[in-house]
Amino acid sequence: MSPWLAAARAVGAEIAARHADDVDLRARFPAEAVTGLRDRQLLGLLVPSTEGGAGAGIADVVSICHELGRYCASTAMVYAMHQIQVACIVRHAGHNPWQRAFLRRLADGQLLLASATSEAGAAGDVRSSICALDEKRGRFTLVKQAPVISYGEESDAILVTARRTAQSPPSDQVIVVVPRSGVELQPQETWNTLGMRGTCSRGYRLTAEGEMSQVIPVPYADVSAQTMLPVSHLVWGALWLGIATDALGRARAFVRAEAKKRPGETPLGAARLAVAVNELQTMKSNLLACLRLYEAAIGSVDGPSAISLAVAMNNLKLGSSQSVVKIVGEAMLICGLAGYRNDSPFSLGRHLRDAHSAAVMVSNDRISANNATLALALRDDLEPLA
Amino acid sequence: MSSPLKVRIRTVLKNAGSLQNGVDALPDDADLHAAGLTSHATVSLMLALEEMFDIEFPDRLLGRLTFSSIDAIARALIEIGVQDEAA
Ligand SMILES: Cc1cc2nc3c(=O)[nH]c(=O)nc-3n(C[C@H](O)[C@H](O)[C@H](O)COP(=O)(O)OP(=O)(O)OC[C@H]3O[C@@H](n4cnc5c(N)ncnc54)[C@H](O)[C@@H]3O)c2cc1C
């Protein structure tokens, strides 16, 4: 186990787990766990060593999200969303001196990054913007109606998407890094949801200003296709796997306790447990296969094409968001009333509520519709199996 | 003067590109994505080009870059064997 993963496990087991129910109950930011991650230098993990970071890769972040997801899904989601933003800057900052200096600040100060891609009026279509950068003499201003910015108030900087200019069509977007000193957040919508309550994803009228060098120097279309979309689905898939793993862990403990009470008899829940273990194995295999695919895509020019990568990552999202709900539901049936109670060691209510966010967080129907379009362009997979 | 190939590309783009402000005013090297070509429309454009030129784009040419301008589309078509001549 890498020292990073060991540190994340310690934060998960010793801090996040202890506060998870309170974070959920009060829909409050998991401040203790995030401080723990910050203290252990886990926020700047992806920053290259040339900028003073640990130079870790996506696989490290994926395994940390999985680990955290076992203890507190909100903490895991905050960490996941932060790392998605970091990955975008690391991969696309190029030689832009402002961006490189920002990465250094991020590593030094273990800054927490949030995201404002969704926009009121554009609904959940993050590949289309209404707001636009207003550029004057090398500086910009920007006003965005952001219906959901997770932990916006606790963050140190926000990545915001917008149309490139006031004349640009909705699909011609850029993404800009705005430190909190350049952002004003006027609260508009509260966050009182079924699950993922600790992400504190409130809505705001966001006003931002800064210098043009804060704009990531490649089009958002590329940032999205090459990094934001695949990394999101990998880290989300990992933390959903963490939720499912913990739920099945509880179910397994329940079944084993039953078996010990009546030696020689196979408990009723064992057969269901076996089926759920199979589903969990599929979920994990899919995640690992997609992780390898993504690593191949960033590592070589012969990697998967943009289209096959997008379809694979979309399928990962669709599949794991459904599997996590299914597995937690199975765990609930296995534990019965003990799982349904909110005050038993086998409680699964929080898992189930958190799991249901997966299909909504970028609507599965929207992703399926995108896949339907991409299916028209997808080529036969001629890759040898081994 | 645009080459015959580029004239044919423009015809396809007019029907399949869903560009708000049309195609006529766009120079051959204009950024089509900046002109509003969405990822959805890129797929329609690709299919329409395949139909018009009776070709199939190989996987490696399915990136955003291939469809980034009329010039870029022409380069890709020539690369896969399309002749620069009128239909
Ligand atoms: C826990 C959590 C945290 C979040 N944090 C952030 C954040 O920090 N920053 C941020 O910017 N956003 C965030 N989001 C928002 C997220 O990225 C999505 O934008 C949002 O969940 C989608 O909202 P929607 O369901 O209202 O919109 P839509 O995607 O428009 O979906 C609404 C309905 O329309 C249907 N629909 C929409 N489009 C299509 C289509 N093309 N085909 C078929 N059906 C369609 C859907 O099925 C759905 O029923 C967060 C969401 C969650 C759940």
Query: Does B85 fall in a domain?
Result: no
In 3D space, the residue among A198, A283, A148, A236 whose CA is nearest the CA of residue A27 turns out to be A198
> Per the structure block, which two tokens stand in for A95?
């030689």
Return the number of CB contacts < 8 Å for A and B. Answer: 50
In 3D space, the residue among B55, B80, B57, B9 whose CA is nearest the CA of residue A306 turns out to be B57
Question: Is the CB of residue A361 below 6 angstroms from any atom belonging to ligand 1?
Answer: yes
The whole-number pLDDT of residue A302 equals 63
Distance from Cα A263 to the centre of ligand 1, integer Å: 49
Residue whose CA lies nearest to ligand 1 atom number 45: A366
- How many angstroms separate the CA atoms of A122 and A128, rounded? 7
The whole-number pLDDT of residue B21 equals 80
In 3D space, the residue among A40, B55, A6, A237 whose CA is nearest the CA of residue B76 turns out to be B55
At residue B40 the predicted structure's pLDDT band, cuts being 50, 70 and 90, is confident
Residue whose CA lies nearest to ligand 1 atom number 18: A362
ipTM over 0.95: no
Residue A91 CB coordination number (10 Å): 19
Query: Does B48 fall in a domain?
Result: yes
Give me the percent of chain B exceeding a pLDDT of 90. 66
- How many angstroms separate the CA atoms of A239 and A245, rounded? 10
Distance from Cα A119 to the centre of ligand 1, integer Å: 10
Instruction: Work out how many domains chain B is built from and give that number.
Output: 1
Confirm if A253 and A332 have CB atoms less than 8 A apart. Answer: no
Does B87 have pLDDT greater than 80? no
Q: Give me the count of residues in chain B.
A: 87
Query: Does B87 fall in a domain?
Result: no
Pairing of strands A157-163, A113-116: parallel
- How many angstroms separate the CA atoms of A243 and A200, rounded? 19
Distance from Cα A321 to the centre of ligand 1, integer Å: 14
CB nearest B36 (choices: A171, A219, A374):
A171
DSSP H or E run through A115: strand A113-116
Residue A9 CB coordination number (10 Å): 17
Query: Does B86 fall in a domain?
Result: no
Query: Does B34 fall in a domain?
Result: yes
Q: Which domain covers residue B27, as residue numbers?
A: 4-80
Strand partners, A174: A162
Compute the CA torsion angle A328, A334, A337, A343 (nearest 10 deg): -50
Alpha helices in chain A (DSSP H): 3-10, 17-26, 31-39, 58-69, 73-92, 97-109, 220-223, 229-261, 269-299, 306-335, 337-340, 349-355, 357-360, 364-375
Residue A163, SS3? strand
Does B60 have pLDDT greater than 90? no
Residue A112 CB coordination number (10 Å): 22
What angle, 0 to 180 degrees and rounded to 10, lies between the N-to-C axes of helices A73-92 and A17-26? 100
Which pTM was predicted? 0.95
Query: Does B73 fall in a domain?
Result: yes
Write the CATH number for B14.
Answer: 1.10.1200.10
Query: Does B31 fall in a domain?
Result: yes
Question: Is the CB of residue A5 below 6 angstroms from any atom belonging to ligand 1?
Answer: no
Residues of B in contact with A219 (CB under 8 A): 33
At residue B78 the predicted structure's pLDDT band, cuts being 50, 70 and 90, is very high
Question: Is the CB of residue A323 below 6 angstroms from any atom belonging to ligand 1?
Answer: no
Strand partners, A206: A144, A185
DSSP readout, A170-193?
Answer: TT-EEEEEEEGGGEEEEEEE----
User: Domains of chain A (ranges plus CATH)?
Assistant: 3-112 (1.10.540.10), 114-214 (2.40.110.10), 220-377 (1.20.140.10)
From first to last of the 386 residues of chain A, give the pLDDT tens digit.
899 999 999 999 999 999 999 999 999 999 999 999 999 999 999 999 999 999 999 999 999 999 999 999 999 999 999 999 999 999 999 999 999 999 999 999 999 999 999 999 986 788 999 999 999 999 999 999 999 999 999 999 999 999 999 999 999 999 999 999 999 999 999 999 999 999 999 999 999 999 999 999 999 999 999 999 999 999 999 999 999 999 999 999 999 999 999 999 999 999 999 999 999 999 999 999 999 999 999 877 666 678 889 999 999 999 999 999 999 999 999 999 999 999 999 999 999 999 999 999 999 999 999 999 999 998 888 778 88
Task: Please tell me what DSSP assigns to residue A215.
Answer: B
